[in-house]
Amino acid sequence: MRGALAAAAILAGAALALGQSAPKPKPGASGAAPPAAAPAARIGCVTCHLALDDARVSPPAKLFADDIHAKSGFTCANCHGGDPTTEDMDAAHDAKKGFRGKPKTADVPALCGNCHADAALIKKYNPSQRVDQLSEYKTSGHGKALAKGDATVATCISCHGAHGILPVKDSRAPVFPTRIAQTCNRCHGDAKLMADHKLPSDVYAKYAKSVHFEALTKKGDLSSPTCNSCHGNHGAAPPQVASVANVCGTCHTIFADQFKQSPHAKAFADMGLPGCVTCHENHEIVHPTDAFLSTGKDGKCSACHDAGTEGARAAAAMYRDITALKTATEKARAALEREAEAGMLVAKPQFELSKAEEDLTKARADVHLFRPYEVQQTVAGGLTIATTAKAQAAQLARERGFRRKGLGLSLVLIGLSIAALVAKIRTLGPGEKP
Amino acid sequence: MSSAAPDRGPLGAALAWVQDRIGWEGIAHLAEKKQVPIHRYTIYYYLGGMALFLFLVQVATGILLLLYYRPSASEAFESVQYIMAEVPFGWLIRSIHSWGANIFVGVIVAHMLSVFFLRAYRAPREMTWITGALLLFLALGFGFSGYLLPWNTLAFFATKVGTDVPAQLPGLGPLLSRILRGGSDVTGATLSRFYGIHVAILPAITTVLLGAHVVLVQQKGMSVPLSVESKKYRTMKFVPDFLLRDAVGWLVAVGLLAALAAFFPWELGVKADPFSPAPAGIRPEWYFLSMFQGLKYLPAEIAGVPGEMVGVLFFGLVGAVLVLVPLLDRRASRGLPSPWWNRLAVLALIGALVLTILALRPPPGAAP
């Protein structure tokens, strides 16, 4: 009997693997059995599938133990159908009892949507859980391609997994912020697959060099963007030229606002150039430096503005002003640190100087207005502060000199006093005899 | 009756008038009569005068600091910052006060060791020693309470550790800790208390004990070591011979303090933030380091008693023995050498030194 059961289970597993008897699930028909049925159901599917120790059918059963759905009381039958209450393989896998086996790729989004697009059902488990994933997916590049019959594109299970699905906030989950890029790269790093879709396959390699990747993975800043932050997750699609500034502006609000006010906004739109990424790249977004404004190898402006043109002169003016403030603050900071090392109290001038450093940051932001006058105004305020801080450092150095001269004079007076005392003591004699 | 001659002029007459009313003949006579023995250990006699001088420096600089210092959690740090940066010569006064406090403790420890090893505490000077030992504890109290007053991070967390120590005492320990802190934790209330302790309570007690100590020294005269006692030795007058030599030392001390203040102004650090985590490597002033480190090495329990409690009781016992040495060292009181006390003291000194060095090592992972 046990052998027959095993053989039957293997056949059922093969059926699952081949995706046989998997009718398109009907939204709302389900699927979503009440969790109260869970204990008996689990005995039916998992008990046999684990006992078989078959590489095709037992891993899903093992993985499902840690699945968020299993923990919420859902069972295999909620997705695969069938009768989990019987140990008879044929009865358990009977198509008449709704058994659909392994869903086809094209059926996966709708199958998941059975529950995840059902607001009334989802509310029972997590009232704040969104229910628009399916409709978003349909607007995505993946969803559109799938609708056209391309089964190589990602569906829900490509990112979330099929049986060991973990909550998004679980750091082991493939959709946890620090792991999303690697998850996307499973397909987007596949050169052949991407070539078929006329997409680049070096996106992850470029992203791994970016400031965003560094902040996310090395500094642990989970708010730092990864793939889905710019492309969307369920509705993943590349931002269009006109919307790039808006996408970056969701985090970089000041820069985005400044860019919109700048003369570049219209010029870029007219030329069909995307906003931010024209200078900063899209995936390989490295630390911006002041040299972006220079005419050197790192210069960005010279790519469009030839030498001698108004644009080149504007870039040169902004570069000159920002460099001047940077140099002034660095020199003032170094002078104050020298005084601090010499024991002088520099907390107050250092605090004042930090305002000049804030001005430097602001001037660098003002570059996105692409109006040299704005940068110059900010730089002028910072330069005044930095000059004052440097003067304070010089004053402290003079004070230090004064202290040491005063000490020298005091020591001379003390020395003379000691000499006078010693001279007096010598006149006193050797003391009285006993 | 006036002792001034009629022909001494207006100044002489004024002095005579004052002398008639307060009568300093006794003091003048004592000073004139007092003799200081001259022998190979005479130099150690200067340590007492040096300690007294440094104490007076602390009093003078402390009073000047009081003019600007504000004892509240919101203003203490800023007021010290103001003293260091804005008040004319404020940096000098504060640096001398801070450096002076450390040198003062060092000098009285040296003074006490010299008195101990020369057995100057033997009869009839037991009370001189006991008042001196209590003055050492008061000096440590001045150091501990003064350390918190700038309200910087290091002082704040060191005080948290320090005020935890009395809480280990059985019985009233936790209450004592609460009284010291003015609550369950170190807060602005602790600062107010430490300020009161530093500028009123300790000075009042010190004035009484120091007065008693100095009077006893004058009454009993300078002790002569056992090894010298049986020999013949010269003496010098306290005034002016010894006092002038004392003055040379005091001038050297003034020069040293001024040089330290000019080249190494006492650091202020960063304002205390009670909500920030304790920084790595917090430790108390150098004279508490051996106790601080010793408590670290104790196991959680010793014979069923909390290890820290055992440690605190042990240090309390050491303190009590220190105060009562003249009564415990019966051989010295009979004028006989007491080598076992020397061995015990050397052992304690080596232990304290080793623990202090261990405490001064940088914490693991710190930059060299």
Of A6-10, B117-121, B270-274, the poorest mean pLDDT is in A6-10
Within 8 A by CB and 6+ apart from A230, the residues are A239, A247, A248
Q: What is the arithmetic mean of pLDDT over A231-249?
A: 78
Nearest CA in chain A to B252: A414
Task: Give residue ranges of A with CB < 8 Å to any B CB.
Answer: 343-345, 347-348, 403-404, 406-407, 410-411, 414-415, 417-418, 421-422, 424-425, 428, 430-434
All residues at 6 or more sequence positions from A370 whose CB lies less than 8 Å from its CB, including other chains: A262, A263, A264, A314
Which DSSP letter does residue B338 get?
A: -
- Biggest CA-to-CA distance, chain B: 82
Q: Give the pLDDT score at A63.
A: 86
Which of A341, A344, A345 is the best substitution to test chain B (most B C-beta atoms within 10 A)?
A345
Residue B262 contacts A where some CB pair is shorter than 8 Å: yes
pLDDT digit string, tens, across residues A287-330: 889 999 988 888 888 888 888 898 899 999 999 999 999 999 99
Distance (Å, rounded) from C-alpha B29 to C-alpha B41?
Answer: 26
Taking the mean position of all CA atoms in its chain, how far away is CA A129?
22
The tokens describing A417, both together, are 């006093």
Residue A241: predicted pLDDT: 63
Q: Tell whether the model's pLDDT for residue A127 goes beyond 90.
A: no
Share of chain A above pLDDT 70, in %: 90
Determine phi and psi for B174, rounding to 5 degrees: -60, -35
Of residues A306 and A21, more confidently modeled: A306
Residue range B62-85: average pLDDT? Answer: 95
Per residue in B281-311, pLDDT (tens digit) is 788 899 999 999 999 899 988 888 888 899 9
d(CA A65, CA B220): 90
Residue B301 main-chain phi, psi, to 5 deg? -140, 140
CA atoms within 13 A on the CB side of B59: 12
Token pair of A211 as six digits: 């400031």
Say what the pLDDT of residue B6 is: 55
d(CA B256, CA B264): 11
CB-CB neighbors (< 8 A) of A428 in chain B: 236, 240-241, 244
Tell me whether residues A425 and B232 touch, CB distance under 8 A.
no
Joined tokens for residue B267: 């650091």
A93: nearest Cα among A165, A4, A13, A25: A13
Q: Among B95, B76, B268, which Cα is nearest to A350's? A: B268
Question: What are the residue boundaries of the structural domains of chain A, listed by start?
Answer: 1-150, 310-426
pLDDT of B314 > 80? The answer is yes
Q: How far apart (Å, rounded) are the C-alpha atoms in residues A96 and A98?
A: 5
Q: Are strands B234-237 and B35-38 parallel, antiparallel or unpaired?
A: antiparallel
* Interface contact B259-A431, CB threshold 8 A: no
Q: Which residue has the higher pLDDT, A430 or A7?
A: A430
Q: How confident is the model at residue A1 (pLDDT cuts 50, 70, 90)?
A: very low
Alpha carbons within 13 angstroms on the beta-carbon side of residue A339 total 26
* Pairwise CB contact (< 8 Å): A432 & B262: no
The pLDDT of A82-110, averaged and rounded, is 86
Contact B350, B131 (CB under 8 A): no
pLDDT in tens, B22-65: 877 777 777 778 899 999 999 999 999 999 999 999 999 999 99
User: How far apart, in whole angstroms, are the C-alpha atoms of residue A57 and residue A61?
Assistant: 7
Please indicate whether, in this complex, the C-beta atoms of B265 and A344 are within 8 angstroms of each other.
Answer: yes
Share of chain B above pLDDT 90, in %: 71
Counted across chains A and B, CB pairs separated by less than 8 A come out at: 72
The predicted model gives A79-94 an average pLDDT of 85
Least confident range of A1-10, A174-183, B241-250 = A1-10
Write out pLDDT tens, residues A25-61: 343 334 444 444 444 444 578 888 888 777 878 888 8
Select the residue of B91, B248, B262 nearest A421 (Cβ to Cβ).
Answer: B248
* Mean pLDDT within A127-136: 90
Per-residue pLDDT reduced to its tens digit, A253-286: 999 899 989 999 888 888 888 888 888 888 888 8
Decide if B232 and A434 are in contact by the 8 Å CB cutoff: yes
Instruction: Name which residue leads in pLDDT, A1 or A156.
Output: A156
As a whole number of angstroms, the distance between CA B34 and CA B162 comes to 43
Rounded (5°) CA angle B152-B155-B159: 135
Q: Which of A342, A415, A402 is nearest to B255 (CA)?
A: A415
The helix (H) or strand (E) run that includes residue B234 is strand B234-237
CB B62 within 8 A of CB B195: no
DSSP secondary structure, B190-202, as one string: HHHHHHHIIIIIH
Average pLDDT for A122-142: 90
Task: Answer whether 0.90 is exceeded by the pTM.
Answer: no
B82/A180 Cα distance (integer angstroms): 53
Chain A residues with CB-CB distance to B254 below 8 A = 414
pLDDT in tens, B10-31: 888 888 888 888 877 777 777 7
Taking the C-alpha atoms of residue A254 and residue B231, their distance in angstroms, rounded to an integer, is 91
Give the three-state DSSP class for B35: strand
pLDDT at res. B219: 87
Interface residue of A400, A425, A426 to substitute, partner B, most B CBs within 10 Å: A425
Q: What is the pLDDT of residue A43?
A: 56
Band of pLDDT at residue A396, cut at 50, 70 and 90: very high
Task: Determine the 3-state secondary structure of B151 from DSSP.
Answer: coil
- In the block, tokens 């099929």 appear at A162
* Per-residue pLDDT band at A157 (split at 50, 70, 90): very high
* Chain A contact probe: residue of B254, B264, B268 with most A CBs at under 10 A: B254
Amino acid letter at B278? Answer: A
CA distance B92 to chain A (A): 9
pLDDT value for A282: 85
Give the sign of the dihedral formed by CA B133, CA B138, CA B141, CA B142. negative
| Residue B192 touches chain A, beta carbons under 8 Å | no
Q: Does B86 touch chain A (CB under 8 A)?
A: no
pLDDT for position A38: 42
The amino acid at B133: A
Contacts of residue B48, Cβ cutoff 8 Å, sequence gap at least 6: B111, B217
Cα atoms found within 13 Å of the Cα of residue B153, Cβ hemisphere only:
12
**By the 8 A CB rule, do A151 and A103 touch?**
no
pLDDT in tens, B333-346: 888 989 999 999 99
The domains of chain B, with CATH numbers, are: 34-282 (1.20.810.10)
Each residue's pLDDT tens digit, A334-387:
999 999 988 898 989 999 999 999 999 999 999 999 999 999 999 999 999 999
Chain-centroid distance of CA A304 in Å reads: 31
B234 neighbourhood in chain A, CB within 8 Å: 430-434
Give the contacts of A8 (CB within 8 A, at least 6 positions apart).
A89, A90
Residue of B nearest to A411 (CA): B255
The pair of three-digit structure tokens given for residue B154, joined into one six-digit string: 């290091």
> Each residue of B178-233: pLDDT tens digit?
999 999 999 999 999 999 999 999 999 999 999 999 999 988 888 999 888 888 88
Find tokens 């403030």 and name the residue: A325
B87 part of contact set with chain A, CB < 8 Å? no
Contact A343 B251 (CB under 8 A): no
Q: Could you count the other beta carbons within 10 Å of the beta carbon of residue A203?
A: 19
| pLDDT at residue A394 greater than cutoff 50 | yes
- Looking at residue A35, what is its pLDDT? 46
CA proximity to B224, closest of B213, B240, B235: B235
pLDDT by residue (tens digit) across B126-162?
A: 999 999 999 999 999 999 999 999 999 999 999 999 9
Please list, in sequence order, all residues whose beta carbon lies within 8 angstroms of the beta carbon of residue B4, skipping any fewer than 6 positions away: B12, B13, B15, B16, B19
Query: Hey, which residues does B37 pair with through a beta bridge?
Result: B235
Evaluate whether A367 touches A293 at the Cβ level (below 8 Å).
yes
Yes or no, beta carbons of B244 and A432 under 8 Å apart: no
- Segment A172-228, tens digit of pLDDT: 999 999 999 999 999 999 999 999 989 999 999 999 999 999 999 999 899 999 998
CB within 8 Å of B20: residues ≥ 6 apart: B1, B2, B3
Does B245 contact A at CB distance below 8 Å? Answer: yes
Contact criterion met (CB below 8 Å) for B80 and B72: no
What distance in Å separates the CA atoms of residue B220 and residue B234, rounded to the nearest whole number? 18
The closest alpha carbon to B95, from A398, A345, A409, belongs to: A345
* B240 prior amide bond cis, ω within 30: yes
For B81, the 3-state DSSP assignment is helix
Rounded to an integer, what distance in angstroms lies between the CA atom of residue B75 and that of residue B150? 9
Backbone phi and psi for residue A342, each to the nearest 5 degrees, phi listed first: -85, 5
Virtual torsion, Cα B299, B303, B308, B314, nearest 10 deg? -120
Phi, psi of A104 (to 5 degrees): -70, 155
Question: What is the CB-side half-sphere exposure of residue A338 using CA atoms within 13 A?
Answer: 15
Residues in chain B closer than 8 A to A414 (CB atoms):
251-252, 254-255, 258
Residue from A341, A352, A414, A433 whose CB has the most chain B CBs within 10 Å, to mutate: A414
pLDDT at A13: 39
Q: Taking a C-beta distance cutoff of 8 angstroms, is the pair B139, B149 a contact?
A: no
What is the rounded distance in angstroms from the CA atom of residue A84 to the CA atom of residue A100? Answer: 13
